[in-house]
Structure 1
């Protein structure tokens, strides 16, 4: 269980990493072509963000088939070659599993819409009329967290985009499907897994309005989440493999529970508290100068708390959802090189497993776009519209 503690993980967003065939879209062959470079960097694991078939509403985090490769990224043979070539260089592949929701283009959801009771129970549907939401919860991408389906007379829950329908983890058949997906990829030679927003999979027993917030207090680190993770790890046969959970609005206490060795859940957690120190009044889309003292105290609290209780941190500045750290917390002009090196040292010298986002090793900066049309991120586009 400890062989991940001296490793480095490099995150690849395949669509923007390396385009091997000139179609303007990164692909799996492009990743294979850069394996020598990645090996020279000293990378131990490559975390690939989703390359599964998807309508790309959320850049692949809206999965339409968990056991296939989207043709725009290549073929299953391309992936198998990547696994073999990475393995030959001592690099393991980690896949990104989006298990809180599926695309509404997924076969399961299509069957649910067609009236199949079995597959309706794969999702969270509530009877109702079009004039009243089941609850007042807000989607994390903006707007209501419920969508009405007139032909069924039901609402379905989507904590994220309207085309990302939340799965019903209370249903044992759903949990078995998820475990079977892990077994499928493990048999292909995948060495680890990153689990997207995994701490929101356990919903409340009763659905009610939230008059204090946006609803997240009812499902974040939910009542059965530790039970479901233990079951998933055991049934999926991944105990002992490197695993990391993306934890939305989580707590130190829960992350100790998720990662303490004897609990057989995950090997490490991402938390995002240190990446909120430049939010103005806690609002993600209003920025201020970073509060570096608050950041220092957060790192100290999590470092000491996880160490004292046997937990383990995933350490990171950047990923596909975050701005570039050198532009955000340093200087991307006068002191660009010094800032980039300082941020790297900070991450690599703390207790935990460091994660590097593609280009971070080069000190990559924000793109400094000037028009909203240059963005492809569903959350940014939604909030641009909402804030206007």
Structure 2
């Protein structure tokens, strides 16, 4: 029997649709491609799928600029394709979470087109953050806020007013104090819940309400220690929205969920997962932790303690579509550092060492060994690195384009997956003549699914084995017990009958008593010693 609160210990697989599988041969992944690979995902052993946006969109930010929240963009298929994918996932016992982008719409959304065609002070403009400018003739922006993607967060229109866009100019921010906006999104929730989706990942969940007077802000707001800061983030009124959404989900039973993307300090994040709001929030502290035993332990303890204050379980994630993949980050000279991107002119990771560490850390994370829920980013089960030498001419990320290449550039982690080593586009596209929307590095051939499928020591086989053991030993609902470590760079922690030993150093370490039932590398547990940058699971 599936527990109604299935998300509390689920392993959830993030699908970036444009890069997962291309079924129609146009070089762009699609929903039919997801359906085609559902058996692969079921065999991997995940409990749920999270799909990044597939809605109708001009794609100025890879679909996070939504023009119609109730339709599928033709790039990805049709609503019928979505329904077939959803039904196929459910038939295989997998839940489906869809991305919801409520902070802003596309500038091509019908509401924004109506706003541009209507006068200042009209109901149409009141749906967005339009303001008069400063200066003698209103020629200056209303405040000094900067876009997350670089440059001013304000754009002036022909009649002299300015509109706020915390991201790209094609992503105008909605005014969430407007009742019409709130009602519209509650209806959007019902549209997808009615089709049978199991939950929502809420984009920029902490950004929808701004301080009413929109004051200047001279501090850092992005990627600062502890998360985003400033009058554009984490305002108390945002919780009224989620309490209302919680009630909407309850109309469809007690098995629907929401997970918040909120870059905040843990004590602020937990306010989003109180019993009458969302069910989960991403644990970005863990994603950003370095390859250091004391830092990892502190993050784990703090995360579990914070979530338990509100009766929630925490989430564990190492990679997503917004940052350098952890197999590459862990191969840097400062392993675990989170650069905005790694380009051809930047320090190149040690690919073999990064993969070795990635295989080890997955044995520690909740993804496979800590109580709570876990999110995997597509391709990490293959050990995929970023495309770190992608020529700049291929980059499409608005952060990269708006800063002239000085910042942003998430394209390296969004490269299409390799399915067959000897096929055009490594089997990503069924069309032999189609070029993938982003180029794949030649190194992806050795990571292809068909190469790893039946290889017992491959990264794919490791993930499958660990996911099966995680289920068998009920690790997602366990409790952690830390053990005294023989060295500062070694971690030992138990969850029920399983003890994880993670050696973050380079020198071998003696193993405690117990039967080795899983190891990150075949040579990692020779005899009773654990090699460096490796991990094992011991059965007591």
- TM score, norm. by length of structure 2: 0.66
Corresponding position of 1:186: 193
Residue deviations 1:300-357, cap 9 Å, x none?
3222222244233221011110111011024753345532321211222223210001
User: How far did residue 275 of structure 1 move?
Assistant: 4.2
RMSD: 2.2
2-structure distance, mates of 1:93, 1:332: 35
1:124 to 122, 126, 129: 129
1:24 to 24, 27, 49: 27
Counterparts in 2 of 1:1-388, with a 5 A limit?
2-115=5-118, 117-128=122-133, 129-151=137-159, 153-214=160-221, 216-235=229-248, 237=251, 240=254, 241-248=256-263, 250-261=264-275, 264-276=276-288, 293-330=294-331, 333-347=351-365, 348-386=368-406
Corresponding position of 1:287: none
Report the secondary structure of 1:68's partner residue: strand
Report the secondary structure of 2:105's partner residue: strand
Select the structure of larger CA radius of gyration.
2
Report the secondary structure of 2:56's partner residue: coil
Q: Report the structure, 1 or 2, having the larger helix content.
A: 1
User: How far did residue 185 of structure 1 move?
Assistant: 0.5
1-structure distance, mates of 2:292, 2:213: 38
2-structure distance, mates of 1:144, 1:274: 31
2-structure distance, mates of 1:270, 1:387: 24
2-structure distance, mates of 1:108, 1:324: 36
1-structure distance, mates of 2:372, 2:80: 34
User: How far did residue 259 of structure 1 move?
Assistant: 1.3
User: How far did residue 39 of structure 1 move?
Assistant: 0.5
2-structure distance, mates of 1:77, 1:273: 38
Report the secondary structure of 1:10's partner residue: strand
1-structure distance, mates of 2:252, 2:99: 14
1-structure distance, mates of 2:9, 2:313: 12
User: Structure 1 residues 277 and 90 mapped into 2: Cα distance closer, same or farther (>3 Å)?
Assistant: closer
Contact 1:277–1:292 (8 Å) recurs in 2: no
Residue deviations 1:147-186, cap 9 Å, x none?
11122x2111111111100011001110010010010011
Q: Identify which range, 374-383 or 24-33, moves more after superposition.
A: 374-383
1-structure distance, mates of 2:293, 2:211: 36
Contact 1:175–1:232 (8 Å) recurs in 2: no
Count of aligned positions: 373
2-structure distance, mates of 1:327, 1:385: 20
Could you list the runs of 5+ residues in structure 2 that have no partner in the other structure?
222-227, 332-348, 409-540
1-structure distance, mates of 2:148, 2:293: 26
